[in-house]
């Protein structure tokens, strides 16, 4: 089975399967057979095999500051009046904090501390974390809270971000919203996770501090963040110029 994963068919073409996909499949099989031991089978056959090594880097799509600015401009020009500040708040939160969309949609009003400028969020793995934000995002949050009270005050939901029906907004709704506002700005494949990638990449472009990026994304291991450093074109250009000055 693992040997059959070496290639895949995409639009009628044979392509090499990424190491990450093979590693995920191996892990899934290993977990499943481990679950069967010892009630259903005596031993886990996957334990006698080796987990595929991660030799490639998954392609990371991110938006430049110019592209982000254009998307936010599209919101200001095209969003419905009662939803404009909500949409701006979601996007600015994603681009400036790097939070996963699953964490953003779960934020409640009481999780916001405007005085100390931090948000309590539930991160991947169901543990709470506090994320700091700046003055610009604070202004945007306040604007949305005022509109939320004005247009959705009687919805009965504790969610910070609600739909037109007054329910907590979903991941899919954010995905559709982002895709709509990115139309005409870029031909990149846009998903909510692109906001997280953009936050990390642009932060690294500005600081060159991989440990700061790792802390911002709340990665347990800095090696997980390393791919943002490797794809940073501006840092690569800077390195080339520094070395070029030596000769």
Catalytic residue of the set 6, 8, 51, 124: 124
Catalytic site includes residue 228? yes
Catalytic site includes residue 215? no
Task: Map residue 229 onto helix, strand or coil.
Answer: helix
DSSP 187-205: -S---THHHHHHHHHHHHH
Catalytic residue of the set 62, 181, 204, 228: 228
Catalytic site includes residue 193? yes
The span from the CA of 153 to the CA of 183, in Å, is 31
CB 136 within 8 A of CB 92: yes
Task: Map residue 46 onto helix, strand or coil.
Answer: helix
Catalytic residue of the set 25, 120, 193, 235: 193
Catalytic residue of the set 25, 180, 219, 227: 219
The span from the CA of 169 to the CA of 146, in Å, is 18
The span from the CA of 97 to the CA of 100, in Å, is 9
Catalytic site includes residue 233? no
Catalytic site includes residue 42? no
Catalytic residue of the set 100, 148, 181, 204: 100
With 0-12 / 13-18 / 19 or more C-beta atoms within 10 angstroms meaning exposed / middle / buried, residue 14 is exposed
Catalytic site includes residue 124? yes
Catalytic residue of the set 92, 148, 196, 197: 196
The span from the CA of 178 to the CA of 69, in Å, is 13
Q: Which residues are annotated as catalytic?
A: 100, 124, 193, 196, 219, 228
């Amino acid at each position: 089975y693992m040997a059959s994963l070496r290639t895949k068919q995409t639009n009628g073409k044979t392509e090499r399967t990424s190491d990450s996909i093979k590693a995920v499949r191996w892990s899934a099989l290993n977990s499943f057979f481990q679950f069967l031991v010892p009630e259903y089978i005596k031993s886990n056959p996957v334990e006698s095999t080796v987990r595929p090594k991660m030799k490639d880097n998954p392609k990371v799509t991110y938006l430049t500051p110019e592209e982000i600015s254009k998307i936010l401009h599209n919101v200001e020009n095209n969003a419905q009046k009662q939803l404009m500040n909500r949409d701006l708040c979601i996007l600015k939160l994603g681009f400036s904090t790097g939070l996963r969309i699953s964490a953003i949609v779960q934020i409640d009003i009481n999780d916001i501390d405007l005085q100390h400028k931090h948000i309590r969020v539930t991160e991947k793995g169901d543990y709470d974390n506090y994320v700091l934000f700046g003055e610009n995002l604070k202004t945007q949050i306040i604007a949305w809270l005022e509109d939320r009270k004005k247009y959705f005050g009687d919805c009965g939901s504790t969610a910070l971000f609600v739909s037109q029906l007054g329910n907590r907004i979903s991941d899919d709704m954010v995905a559709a919203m982002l895709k709509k506002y990115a139309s005409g700005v870029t031909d990149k494949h846009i998903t909510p996770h692109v906001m997280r990638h953009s936050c990390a990449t642009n932060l690294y472009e500005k600081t060159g501090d991989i440990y700061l990026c790792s802390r911002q994304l709340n990665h347990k291991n800095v090696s997980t963040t390393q791919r943002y450093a490797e794809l940073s074109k501006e840092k690569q250009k800077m390195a080339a110029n520094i070395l070029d000055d030596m000769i």
